[in-house]
Amino acid sequence: MNPTIVRAGAGLLLALASAAASAQPKLGACTELASQFRHPSTRITSAQPVAAGALSNGGVPVGAHCVVQGQMNERVSPVDGQSYAIGFEVRLPADWNGRLLYQANGGTDGFVTRADGGFVGGGPLRNALQKGFAVISTDGGHTAAQNPLFGLDPQARVDYGYAAPRSAAPMAKALVQAAYGQPPARSYIGGTSNGGRLTMVSASRHADLFDGFLAIAPALRMPASSVGGLLGAQLWHAIAPDKTKLESAFPPPARAVLARAILARCDALDGAADGIVEDLAGCRKAFDLARDVATCTPAQAEECLTAPQKEVLAKVHAGPKNRAGQPIYTTYPYDPGVTSPIWADWKFVLSINPTRNPVSVGFIFSTPPQDKSMLQDTLRFALGFDVDTDAPRIFATSGVFTESAMSFMVPPDLPRFGALKARGGKMLVIHGSADPIFSVDDTTAWYDEFSRNQGASAGDFVRLFRVPGMSHSRGGPSTDHFDALDALVEWVEKGVAPQRIIATARGPGHAGGVNAEVPASWSPGRTRPLCPYPAMARYTGGDIERAESFTCRP
């Protein structure tokens, strides 16, 4: 503070002190927010200071902050009689960087996940709260106890699908204003899986609310991919020796056979035989399941797959189709990340159990929704799901449900993102090549179409980075640890478009949490550049464990 100005008068001194206080708010003001903050349709339930070091992330203490919790849009549904609200918390750091982050949450939502803005793998070593962002997290308009039957209420569907940020983001900005005496200079939204989807939906529907968008492993066409999960389960179930365990159809040793065959054909296409397949398009041409994986015979029982296994694998990777052969979703690339337990979880468990695909499709995405009794036997629902008569319900509407799931879940302006472009916003999309549920082929096909529509300017405001080997959101034999939020901030605030994002393998000893799937043959902290599609990391020489030995080019 300039002392000559301070001496200019008591009034100015007070103003300067106030300005200093607003840049560095004291946590003593925190509890007062509970009684003093007013916003339409908002009820603050608590405002409490959190001491420095009370939380930690990646072994690093989180600084002092204020956590404000509350409810918005409280209502009783005229359809199912249940009480609904958008539950939220906002964390306001004492050492604020002037930015707001809307943390879009995953799955079927219903949880106010801690508002700290940790996104990927073990989380960035510093999460958004540690970086000084004010962060809001919401439950998307229903509680955990209301999962998944909130889908019986049309407004709760829409709040989950796209509407919650329209209420919650302006409230968060007003709360920031109340806490610091000034609104956020920049606002961001980011998330993983369903949170990545909501981020892309927001870039389409709410481009006015945010400057930057970070979508990781986006559940881009979730109703369609969820239907695909059910149909895949039917295929696995048909060949599973143990009908109570779908994974018996394609257990870890068999998946390792497939991964080795993929690597044999595709690993070196990018210039480095390093256990990573960068060139998905090249691999699509080079790898032939029928030719490149031996079919088990009485004479060959090793390094082979059975004929039924190969038949189902071919169908699953070709993507779900109706009886007329029309695609319901999209293809999946062959990637060595098929070995991942996360891959198995989505294909064999979440495709049939009462937490994911059956209930998402049956209660949230189908019009009309299933009867509640379906919850009692989700395997039966998955196995009985009819591709021609049940799948079209994700496109259906009714007098009660006036928006179809494909309408309320999918960004309405996918091919263009015109509002984002007009606003000057930036979006980073990051997706693992081995994602077993939301296919990187879907995201890639979207970006191809988007690029055709934009011409040369596509990369000026939207960039796609693919992570070879990474499973859904994290894991797999991959470098799944990266800080894309910093890259997005640089792009939004300094105009520096990301040319490469450095990613690290979370091998033994990694501070962000170890990924047990990092192969023992890799150095534990192997680094790679993630590259803006259509570029990929190509080896140029030097230490094969280091990102500096790779360049990004198509």
Kindly list the residues in this chain that would bind Ca ion in the complex (CB under 5 A): 267, 270, 272, 274, 276
Tokens of 340: 């991942």
H helical segments located in 73-221 = 128-131, 154-158, 164-180, 194-205
Q: Pick the catalytic residue: 237, 472, 481, 510?
A: 472
Please report, as a single letter, which amino acid is at residue 505. Answer: A
Residues ≥6 apart with Cβ < 8 Å to 375: 149, 354, 359
Q: For residue 522, what are its two tokens? A: 């890799």
Contact 196, 213 (CB under 8 A): no
- Report the nearest approach of Ca ion to the CB of residue 278 (Å): 6
Question: 460 catalytic, yes or no?
Answer: no
CB of 354 to Ca ion, least distance (A): 39
CB atoms inside a 10 Å sphere around CB 119:
27
Residue labelled with tokens 């799931």:
405
Nearer to Ca ion, 272 or 420 (CB): 272
Residue 63 or 337 with smaller CB distance to Ca ion: 337
Q: Which residue shows structure tokens 């449900």?
A: 401
Nearer residue to Ca ion within complex by CB, 163 or 277 = 277
Tell me the sheet residues that pair with 88: 70, 138
Residue-wise over 134-158: b if at least 16 C-beta within 10 A, else e? bbbbbbbbbbeebbbbbbbbbbbbb
CB of 272 to Ca ion, least distance (A): 5
Q: H or E element: which one contains 423? A: helix 418-423
Nearer to Ca ion (CB atom), residue 153 or residue 270: 270
Whether the bond between 148 and the residue before it is cis, its omega within 30 degrees of 0, is: yes
Q: In angstroms, give the least distance from the CB of 279 to Ca ion.
A: 8
The DSSP code for 338 is G
Q: What is the chain's Cα-based Rg?
A: 24
Instruction: For the CB of residue 268, give the shortest distance to Ca ion in the complex, in Å.
Output: 6
Given 211, 270, 274, 435, which residue is catalytic?
A: 435
Q: Considering beta carbons, is residue 153 or 274 the nearer one to Ca ion? A: 274
Q: Judged by CB, which is closer to Ca ion: 443, or 478?
A: 478
CB 14, CB 20: distance < 8 Å: no
Cα(149)–Cα(375) distance, integer angstroms = 9
Q: How far is the CB of 527 from Ca ion (least distance, A)?
A: 14
Q: CA dist 330 to 157, 309, 312, Å?
A: 24, 20, 16
Q: What is the rounded distance in angstroms from the CA atom of residue 186 to the CA atom of residue 210?
A: 7
Task: Provide, rounded to whole angstroms, the least separation between the CB of residue 309 and Ca ion.
Answer: 25
Please say whether the beta carbons of 217 and 435 come within 8 A.
yes
Catalytic one of 137, 167, 187, 193: 193
Give buried/exposed letters for 381-413 (b at 16+ CB in 10 A, else e).
Answer: bbbebebeebbbbbeeeeeebeebbebbbbbee
Distances from the Cα of 440 to the Cα of 31, 287, 424, angstroms: 45, 17, 26
What is the biggest distance separating any 2 CA atoms in the chain, rounded to whole angstroms? Answer: 96
Q: Which segments of 139-275 are extended strands (E)? A: 186-192, 212-216
Residue 544 Cβ vs Ca ion, minimum distance, rounded to whole Å? 9
Residue 424, CA atoms < 13 Å, CB-side half-sphere: 7
Q: Which is nearer to Ca ion, 436 or 468 (CB)?
A: 468
Shortest Cβ distance from residue 539 to Ca ion (Å)?
8
Residue 193 is among the residues annotated as catalytic for this protein: yes
Question: Using alpha carbons only, what angle is made at residue 259 by residues 291 and 124, rounded to the nearest 5 degrees?
Answer: 145
Could you give the CA distance from residue 332 to residue 397 in angstroms, rounded to a whole number?
A: 29
Which CB atom, from 228 or from 275, has the smaller least distance to Ca ion?
A: 275
Between residues 55 and 276, which has the closer beta carbon with respect to Ca ion? 276
Q: Which is nearer to Ca ion, 279 or 483 (CB)?
A: 279
Task: Give me the DSSP letters along 188-251.
Answer: EEEEETHHHHHHHHHHHH-TTT-SEEEEES--TTHHHHHHHHHHHHHHHHHH-SSTT-GGGGS-
Q: Annotated active-site positions, please? A: 193, 435, 472
